[in-house]
Amino acid sequence: MGIRFSGTGVALVTPFNQREELDLESLGKLLLHTSEVDYWVINGTTGESPVLTESERNKIIQFVNKNNPRNGICQ
């Protein structure tokens, strides 16, 4: 049996810059903008999963964990 989610979740887009690189600054803004939700669904839930590398997926996970605005930490 997997994890059961409850409450309101948001599927976050994965922002990229003009050079098609991860835009972590914009991801931080999205986290702040959606900080009232109970959970985020990340890494390709809005259709970008085929173009994310394993390295990019790991960077996103680490960034979201480190910059969770509910922890009072956003860099």
* Helices 54-66 and 24-33, axial angle in degrees (round to 10): 50
Listed residue (51, 46, 47, 63) closest to 12, CA to CA: 46
| 3-state class (DSSP) for residue 67 | coil
In a domain, 28, yes or no: yes
Is residue 2 a part of any domain in this protein?
no
Q: Report pLDDT for 45.
A: 75
Measure Cα distances from 64 to 45, 53, 67 in Å.
15, 17, 5
Domain count, the chain: 1
- pLDDT, residue 55, reads 95
Q: Looking at residue 4, what is its pLDDT?
A: 82
Residue-number span of the structural domain to which 51 is assigned: 9-71
In this predicted structure, what is the pLDDT of residue 75? 44
Domain contains 4: no
In the prediction, which pLDDT does 29 show? 96
Residue 26 lies in a domain: yes
Residue 34 belongs to some domain of the structure: yes
Q: What is the pLDDT of residues 10-65, one digit of tens each?
A: 999 999 999 999 999 999 999 999 999 988 999 977 888 888 999 999 999 999 99
Cα gap 40→74, rounded to integer Å: 16
Is there a domain that residue 31 lies in? yes
